[in-house]
Structure 1
Amino acid sequence: MDAMRDDNPYKGVSGSPYVVPRWLSAVITTKGKTVMPATPLKYDVLRQRVLVLDPQKGDSLQVDETLIASFVLTDPEQPQERRAFRRFAEAPVPEQAREFVEVLHQGKYTLLKRYTKDVQLAGYSSAYLYDESPKAIEDKIIYYLARPNGSAVPVKLKVRALQTAAPELATALREASRKRSISQEQDAVALLQVVDKP
């Protein structure tokens, strides 16, 4: 895959444009189904770019992300945890289909985590001067449930919301939630793993 050197326009800005601000080992699968050797990677959500680290010079290289189908991140501090990202093929808004979303659960239904970023500008530095340089980057997470028919709907991580998005699982979700409530992301993932087998 071709790559070009990258510059960082976010120096000194609060927050990060990346899913994870550290370099993490990643295995990339191309659209041609070629699996690339593990390489340090960052995913720039704000500008929809995939960056890899040049092992010789230590520079960031921008990869042609149109050639990438998916990638799996591994944190060396938690090697047992693998975070899989793929294209948002089911995106309800066509422009979002090129984005990468994290796959939290995959069965008949797929729970996806879409990362977005909002940029806060510096604003007025005086009564007459407006500074358009970035001041802060804020995270925004939206969860989607992809259905067997190829559609995806935004969903809150609540039992009732999951029941509405996946009527086929409604009864099983109700029964399983009596033993396991949802208070955070991993609870919703664990619940779906119980009721929605591949």
Structure 2
Amino acid sequence: MKRILVGIVVAMSNVALGQTTEDPAATLRLNNLNTPASGPLIFRVDSRYEGQQGTPYLLTSWSNGQVSLRDGRQYKEVPLKFDAYRQELIMLRPKSGNDSIIIARPTVARFLLTSPDGQSYLFSRYPMIKTTDDQLKEGYFLVLYEGKTALLKRVVKTLKKADYKGGYSADVRYDAYADANSYYVLKPDQTLSKVKLSEKSLLDALSDRQEPLKSFIKQEKLSLKTENDAITLVKQYDSL
């Protein structure tokens, strides 16, 4: 009788060992149950995060465009996106589905995007401008007007991360992209001046023709709070 009981115990032990070898998850569960200090494994998901608002791109969809490289090569009728957050020009490879490439910034001279509604956006680089700011010297500018003098716009996006954890959080549950654009006047001598859309700021940048420009502003009733008014003023400056 004792031999039979020993055989049953050995058989049960072998079954348990077999389960341990074949099912590691069972071992983990048994360990948790047999170790009161460790407690069960619980994975908590913080459901308060609400995702992302806005977009890093100037235009959310692929746009028909053109790219002119500094070595003279040109690409026409190609799908493009401008990532204003990372300041990168992205091109969709022809006949490749969703395969895209980032065009190295130093190789680009200009590129043109055309939105589905027909609006055009011409971006240019000005590596010869007189500035110690490498981001400006190597970066992209949206050309609002270009004659002897240019009115340029830096199209930039910033990203504010969600802030909802901790006792002193702002309870903002989403990441958000926002515009952080700025304006510049580029003179023929490659002097670059940062300006605001205001009469004082623009006249300071165009100070060598300030008096006739003041008369022009009054005559044309320009508010200079819009891009169109600023373009009109810089065009007038070039005509003097």
2:206 matched to which residue of 1? Answer: 166
1:42-191 to 2 correspondence within 5 Å? Answer: 42-56=81-95, 57-78=97-118, 81-89=119-127, 90=129, 91-127=131-167, 135-178=175-218, 179-181=220-222, 182-191=224-233
Q: Secondary structure at the residue paired with 2:55?
A: coil
| Cα deviations by residue, 1:103-150 (Å, 9 ceiling, x for unpaired) | 111223211101222211112424499xxx971111111101112221
User: Would the alpha carbon gap of residues 35 and 55 (structure 1) be closer, same or farther in structure 2, given more than 3 Å must change?
Assistant: closer
User: Would the alpha carbon gap of residues 92 and 82 (structure 1) be closer, same or farther in structure 2, given more than 3 Å must change?
Assistant: farther
Deviation at 1:92, TM superposition (A): 4.9
% identity of equivalent residues: 27
Higher-RCO chain (CA-CA 8 Å, sequence separation at least 6)? 1
Q: Which structure: greater strand fraction?
A: 1
CA–CA separation in structure 2 for the residues paired with 1:155 and 1:165: 7
State the TM-score, normalizing by the size of structure 2. 0.67
Between Structure 1 and Structure 2, whose CA radius of gyration is higher?
2
CA–CA separation in structure 2 for the residues paired with 1:58 and 1:189: 38
CA–CA separation in structure 2 for the residues paired with 1:171 and 1:135: 47
CA–CA separation in structure 1 for the residues paired with 2:61 and 2:106: 23
Q: Secondary structure at the residue paired with 1:160?
A: helix
Q: Secondary structure at the residue paired with 2:163?
A: strand
Q: Is the 8 A contact 1:112 1:146 kept in 2?
A: yes
Match for 1:73: what amino acid?
L
Count, aligned residues:
182
Q: Is the 8 A contact 1:52 1:60 kept in 2?
A: yes
Match for 2:216: what amino acid?
A
Q: Is the 8 A contact 2:206 2:237 kept in 1?
A: no
Match for 2:156: what amino acid?
T
Deviation at 1:185, TM superposition (A): 1.0
CA–CA separation in structure 2 for the residues paired with 1:54 and 1:187: 39
User: Would the alpha carbon gap of residues 153 and 45 (structure 1) be closer, same or farther in structure 2, given more than 3 Å must change?
Assistant: same
Aligned Cα RMSD in Å?
A: 2.5
Tell me, which stretches of 5 or more residues in structure 2 are unaligned? 1-50
* More moved, 138-147 vs 48-57: 48-57
| Cα deviations by residue, 1:62-85 (Å, 9 ceiling, x for unpaired) | 22333211111222422xx43211
Match for 1:42: what amino acid?
K
Q: Which structure: greater helix fraction?
A: 2
CA–CA separation in structure 1 for the residues paired with 2:234 and 2:168: 54
Deviation beyond 6 Å, 4+ runs, structure 1: none
Please state if 1:26 is matched with 2:68. no
CA–CA separation in structure 2 for the residues paired with 1:60 and 1:137: 22
Deviation at 1:35, TM superposition (A): 1.9
Tell me, which stretches of 5 or more residues in structure 1 are unaligned? 1-11
